[in-house]
Amino acid sequence: MSDKPTMLREARDGAVAILTLDQPARRNALAVAMREELVAAMERIETDAAVRAVVLTGAGGHFSAGGDISDMNAADLAAGRHRFRVTQRVVRGFIGSAKPIVAAVEGWCVGAGLGMALCCDTIVAATGARFMAGFGKIGLIPDFGLLHTLPRRVGEGRARQIFLHAEPIDATAAKEIGLVDRIVADGAAMAAATALAAGLAQTAPLPVALTKSWFGQGLDDALEWERNIQSALFATADHAEGKAAFLAKRSPRFAGR
């Protein structure tokens, strides 16, 4: 048994598996180690016939603040591409899962965290939830499958605005544009998501799996494009400046290189 601390909690509620991103001090930032744990958890769940649905949530009042800036240390193209092997396995594991997955979102759901939520089939958001895709602020393109999932949720025009302007979206606005499916009171997202998952667990599993496979078409092309482009952007001066500005809590000074 490894003594390495885990970043992901896994529990069961009848036929529902509950996965909790568990780094509240970092607002559940999706470090590579956490992504690896998500891959392993979904591989276990996918082969467990007793699990018929999944809930994904975050600990400490937030879903996820996105990628871990301090963990973005890809020094060259090869390192960047290796990092994306893990990310692609997470995205494929969730979108390609035969099990229906419900996200329970409280607090912030940002960047890769938004990508993680959109890998789920249903999103339940608390009233105080906030969504944002601020990749450009650190010199990067949207990743975590967002170029595939977000336009399919809200349409290409709205997705373009969300990506380019990087403005926070509250739960009410998110529901109006189809970014989330249900809104509940603050603190109630987990209970509502678990109830929905329990209902989905009663559905015939093969039609669920086949319906999900239809909606997953086209994902591979999007993931490969984001992997190639983002791996190159990791090595740019603007990304280095974006990281430095974020950590120093100042505005970035981008030079286009």
Q: How far is CA 131 from CA 108, 115, 185, in A?
A: 6, 10, 16
CATH topology of domain 8-187: 2-enoyl-CoA Hydratase; Chain A, domain 1 (3.90.226)
pLDDT band at residue 1 using 50, 70 and 90 as cut-offs: very low
Q: Give the C-alpha separation, 209 to 214, whole Å.
A: 9
Contact 169, 130 (CB under 8 A): yes
Per-residue model confidence as pLDDT tens digits over 94-111: 999 999 999 999 999 999
Nearest CA to 109 among 222, 189, 32?
A: 189
pLDDT band at residue 84 using 50, 70 and 90 as cut-offs: confident
Domain residue extents for the chain = 8-187
pLDDT band at residue 76 using 50, 70 and 90 as cut-offs: low
Q: Give the C-alpha separation, 35 to 7, whole Å.
A: 9
| 130 sits in which H/E element | strand 130-132
Report the pLDDT value the prediction gives residue 74, as an integer from 0 to 100. Answer: 65
Per-residue model confidence as pLDDT tens digits over 127-141: 999 999 999 999 999
* pTM of the complete model: 0.94
Q: Give the C-alpha separation, 165 to 136, whole Å.
A: 9
Q: CA 108, 32, 239 angle in degrees (round to 5)? A: 75
Nearest CA to 105 among 208, 215, 179, 199?
A: 179
Is residue 1 classed as helix, strand or coil in its secondary structure?
A: coil
